[in-house]
Structure 1
């Protein structure tokens, strides 16, 4: 990747043992971007036992290390980022064609933060039904798999992700964005893996996600959410 002295968008990808996905994702991002040389790709490794960090470097991305935890990793990536727009992306999620141009146009039109609509790599009607709701601009419809773009100035003013949250960090942060700024759902699909649903079962996992939402909106703290998550949801990694 050609290095720009002033990248417009810094893509921050938190990983833990994601070498297989990174092999696909990093070249994909360059090929699907309108102006790939104005991107900065930062892979934040949370202690992988595979070669995720080495692979990222070999593909021309920047790789840094952090303690394990998406909030910790994403904040660490933001601390290294040089772009005026931060774009947080999971390693198994693939944004639409010209995603960089779409994000920049949205920010230039006074959109402080936003995401894309969600589409799963599954033919399941059940998952398609829940993905369909991602087009609606309500906090309850948000999730980390949809990715998140945000202006650097807004990210800093909000203090970044709350590192007390070892799960639900995306939702908690987006909730603060909704309360303070203009959030927009761009009408283009991001394709994400349904691997966690395949591991846990579609109905079972969606039920437990709903329970975590309920606990959060009842005012339960991050440790309660994490305890529920680890008790009922199997980890992909």
Structure 2
């Protein structure tokens, strides 16, 4: 396999973006269910910052009936298809940012080449992105994003997770050795409790090699399609696909480089409760309890 990461190490970011043809995509970043006002702009700036010049596309997948202006809530499309005056979702972009148009529900949508008010980084060039709709369910949405992807590699990213510096380089190097993997986990909170959660995750990863979805799972695109993608189940799809990979005799590489995921669900639901519930779900799933039953239990006991 061609060493893709090395190919771009000698080029500056602006040189790569200006020189690459429209169909030269190495990494397809797939983000399911992104509605939060302003998050799309910050995410685009973040990906530019960590890409180190490796060409990528951003595929945002929203649930059916939640794409466009008729959903009744600020969504990805309305936050990205703004006018030069900045009309649309307030707080998404700095005044005067220029946006390309898009088609409601489907089609090519470029992020503004301005400065997001909610991000520290400046968008140095537009991010090639599309917004598509898919049926409800994270597995279905991620599979729909993968079906639309053009990159040699797939990276599935939760909207509240941020990648480490040179993330695409580390991922590309790993995918020259294996066919699937994920990053290590860190949680954006200074509390000692969260350092404990991180250490437990490290031990679990070493023992089981089944990283969770919030660790930004990545795959060679052809291998992901050979697996038929994520199983159409309402919960535990991230664990299921890693178990299938290992059962097939393939290695899963978990990088030492860590993503940073938000601690908001622990704060919202209670730190201990959230952790114990996750352990219970994983244990029951390992014991053979149906993901559909687990999903009903999860919704009934969600904080």
Q: TM-score, normalised by structure 2?
A: 0.72
From 277, 282, 286, the counterpart of 1:208: 277
Aligned counterpart, 1:33: 51
Distance of 2:252 and 2:289 partners within structure 1: 25
Distance of 1:54 and 1:139 partners within structure 2: 41
5+ residue gaps, structure 2: 1-16, 67-72, 81-108, 112-126
Residue 36 of structure 2 is aligned to residue 18 of structure 1: yes
Contact 1:133-1:141 within 8 A present in 2 as well: no
Contact 2:184-2:257 within 8 A present in 1 as well: yes
Number of residue-to-residue matches in the alignment:
231
User: What is the DSSP-based 3-state SS (H/G/I as helix, E as strand, rest coil) of the residue aligned with 1:138?
Assistant: helix
Aligned counterpart, 1:46: 63
- CA distance change for structure 1 residues 194 and 41 in 2, over 3 Å: closer, same or farther? same
Q: TM-score, normalised by structure 1?
A: 0.91
Aligned counterpart, 2:142: 74
Contact 2:34-2:60 within 8 A present in 1 as well: no
What are the within-5 Å matches in structure 2 for residues 121-132 of structure 1? 121-132=188-199
Distance of 1:203 and 1:220 partners within structure 2: 23
Distance of 2:198 and 2:38 partners within structure 1: 25
Aligned counterpart, 1:98: 166
Residue 240 of structure 2 is aligned to residue 172 of structure 1: yes
More helix by proportion, 1 or 2?
A: 1
Choose 43-52 or 209-218, whichever is displaced more: 43-52
Q: Cα RMSD over matched residues?
A: 1.8
User: What is the DSSP-based 3-state SS (H/G/I as helix, E as strand, rest coil) of the residue aligned with 2:234?
Assistant: coil
Contact 1:43-1:53 within 8 A present in 2 as well: no
How many Å apart are 1:141 and its aligned residue? Answer: 5.9
5+ residue gaps, structure 1: none
Distance of 1:188 and 1:151 partners within structure 2: 19
User: What is the DSSP-based 3-state SS (H/G/I as helix, E as strand, rest coil) of the residue aligned with 1:19?
Assistant: coil
